[in-house]
A = this chain, B = another copy of it.
Amino acid sequence: MKLLDIYARMKKDIAYVERELESSVYSEHAMLKETSLHLLKAGGKRIRPVFVLLAGQFGKYDLQRLKHIAVPLELIHMASLVHDDVIDDANTRRGQLTVKSKWDNRVAMYTGDYIFAKALTVATQLSDPRIHRILSKALVELSIGEMEQIRYFFRTDQTLRNYLLRIKRKTALLIAISCQLGAVASEASDDVCDSMYAFGYNAGMAFQIRDDILDLTGTEKELGKPPGSDIRQGNITLPVLCALRDPAIRSELLAEIERIRLVDGQTDVTPFLRIIRSGTYIGEADRLSSNYIDRAIAALSGLPDIRAKRDLVQIAHFIGNRSY
């Protein structure tokens, strides 16, 4: 498995970032330390740090600088997940209890605030003002994305554009700037930084589309949560939008979504999943995801043919095909 090879080769630096992540959220405040470490220990693919480290190889690779990008980006991602859990009424994530269900909503909100703030203190160790401008703008977009998500819950009249803009803000942008800032912090040329942004943006779009597909096609064991979690929260994703365009099932699907909405998602969603899994809707969503992967790889074309470039191509292919 090529992806594992890449992680294996970067193992030492990833482990270093992992230790820095842990020490970054260290607090004398017992509960914040506990909630933050609980989140960190829940794991995750650490895809943002990996992108930062790979992007850094297109300039002067310096782990001591790159950690000040990799750690904040993973922390910001984590903080946004905690705030999402407050909203989502999610009780588990990655098979673990969420902060909000293990403690309460207030603790989850303030833990998110704390981790956001900690992320910033780490980033401010770098003086380049571009870094802070890029980061703070992304935070604005991220918060708009969070708000948009609520606004479009159960909205079956939303457009493909609404969906794409939402996943851009929610996911793709943070991955895009992981790549971009890894290059910026390594003093790569502007062209390289722009290419890395384009790569990350497209890979991030594909990543989220795959995520949304897996929520509809995966099993509870694969996902660490029951399939159909998105629709239970009211989150209308790409395959659902594709299905809504099909006149043959549109009214049945609308009725099913309305049934789920009326009970606030507290119901068996098997009939909904059956409709979405029928037909070609998953396949259509998959094709759009593949398009983004193609664009991600194309964005790398002007870059020097170093191993990190081949690694990024591998990761892009993995994202396009991943089934977990």
Contact = CB atoms under 8 A, between A and B. Distances in A.
A147 interface: yes
A114 interface: yes
Interface residues of A, number: 42
A143 B87 contact: no
B129 A117 contact: no
Contact of A114 (B117, B133, B143): B143
A142 interface: yes
Interface string A89-125: 0000000000000000111011111101110110111
Q: How many copies altogether?
A: 2
B83 A144 contact: no
A148 interface: yes
A150 interface: yes
A83 B113 contact: yes
Contacts of A109: 83, 86-87, 109
Interface of A: 27, 29, 31-32, 83, 86-87, 105-107, 109-114, 116-118, 120-121, 123-127, 129, 132-133, 135-137, 139-140, 142-144, 146-148, 150-151
30 contacts: A29-B147, A29-B148, A31-B151, A32-B144, A32-B147, A87-B109, A106-B150, A107-B147, A109-B109, A110-B146, A111-B147, A113-B116, A113-B139, A113-B146, A114-B140, A114-B143, A114-B147, A116-B139, A116-B143, A117-B136, A117-B139, A117-B140, A117-B142, A120-B120, A120-B135, A120-B139, A121-B137, A121-B140, A124-B132, A127-B129
